[in-house]
Amino acid sequence: MSESRFLIVKLGSLGDLVFTLPAVAVLREAYPEARIEWVVERHWYPLLERNPVLDDVVILDRSAGSFAFVAWRLRTARYTCAIDFQGLYKSAALARFSGAPERIGLSARFARESAATLAYTRRITPAGKHMIEQNFSLVTALGARNSPIRFPLHVRPEAEARLGEKLAAQGVGEYFVLSPGGGWRSKCWPAERYGVLHREVARRTGWRGVVSYGPGEGDLAETVRQAAGEPAPAIVDADVAQLMPLLRGARLVVAGDSGPLHLASAFGTPVVGLYGPTPPERNGPFGAGDIAVRNASAETTFRRGGDYSPAMLSITVEQVLDAVERRLETVV
């Protein structure tokens, strides 16, 4: 249907963007001749740059002037359908301002801000528990078929080369990645425990540990290094473009419910995810053999706390080491 022009609205964050990619991939399969564009916040643009299922990416900066300009840009594109995967007032407003005659989003019960649904012409009650399955529901409403989950991604060669230089400078060969951050501290596992975990995984595998971290998380990375002792893990300050090859090249990734965990799983890298206030059945890793560690006492709250949650504190280093060994046993 060459006349179809789709606007994808998913502004961030990293994990949410990763969870949306499979739905956009099946939309492309259903409408191979259509034009598909995605509006996203500038910080996350490298994840979508040169994406094989997209025709263009519209970048939104965090300023009122940018919002007005992007709204005008979307209005002139004459989309036939806007799909809001975000469910926020801001994302719904962009879908509405696009002027698309058909605007699809989740129903009020599932949207992150229920009043955002007033901007939609169709409100979908999703099927499935996992966010990937729920995102599929928005495109199957347009006639797309559920297909095997795939993640269309493009790694910049120049970013991969720059990352290689950083790793070589620290003497890193084969490596595993520990990612102690996660946006909300209540979703994180204590950095000191990552340090203890590093010592044992490095001893058992002979691989070098690499600690990755995001903006404002440098203190967590340093705490991991201090707790790890010698040999110390390498600390790599990687932007989004360099994070992609870092996670793709790792032998293993251990992290909480966070963007790096989901991006690593999207690349097929073996992962062990640590879960507390968020449920693995909704936010969990999805790769074959990937493991989510969560204790039965954990309460699902989605609470964005500034301290480690009791659920995350209940996870022991021994539990994570056991999960690491079980995950690596399944790697061919």
How much is the pLDDT for 1? 41
Mean pLDDT on 86-106: 97
- Phi/psi region, residue 136 (left: phi>0; alpha: psi -120 to 50; beta: rest), is alpha
How much is the pLDDT for 205? 97
- Separation of alpha carbons 197 and 33, rounded Å: 49
Q: Is the pLDDT of residue 2 over 60?
A: no
Q: Is the pLDDT of residue 248 over 90?
A: yes
- Separation of alpha carbons 316 and 293, rounded Å: 10
Q: Which residues of 55-64 are buried (b: 16+ CB within 10 A; e: fewer)?
A: eebbbbeeee
Locate the DSSP E strands across 155-240: 175-179, 208-212, 234-236
Output DSSP code: residue 183.
Answer: S
Q: Is the pLDDT of residue 117 over 80?
A: yes
* R_g of the chain computed on alpha carbons: 20
How much is the pLDDT for 332? 67
- Band (100; pLDDT cuts 50, 70, 90): very high
Task: Output the pTM of the full model.
Answer: 0.95
pLDDT digits (tens, 9 = 90+) for 274-286: 999 999 999 999 8
- Separation of alpha carbons 80 and 84, rounded Å: 13
pLDDT digits (tens, 9 = 90+) for 173-190: 999 999 999 888 899 999
- Separation of alpha carbons 81 and 79, rounded Å: 5
Mean pLDDT on 4-30: 97
How much is the pLDDT for 230? 92
Q: Is the pLDDT of residue 86 over 80?
A: yes
How much is the pLDDT for 214? 85
H or E segment to which residue 124 belongs = strand 122-124
Domains of the chain are: 5-140 (3.40.50.2000), 159-329 (3.40.50.2000)
- Separation of alpha carbons 176 and 234, rounded Å: 10
Mean pLDDT on 80-92: 97
pLDDT digits (tens, 9 = 90+) for 118-177: 999 999 999 999 999 999 999 999 999 988 899 999 999 999 999 999 999 999 999 999
Output DSSP code: residue 26.
Answer: H
How much is the pLDDT for 147? 84
How much is the pLDDT for 26? 97
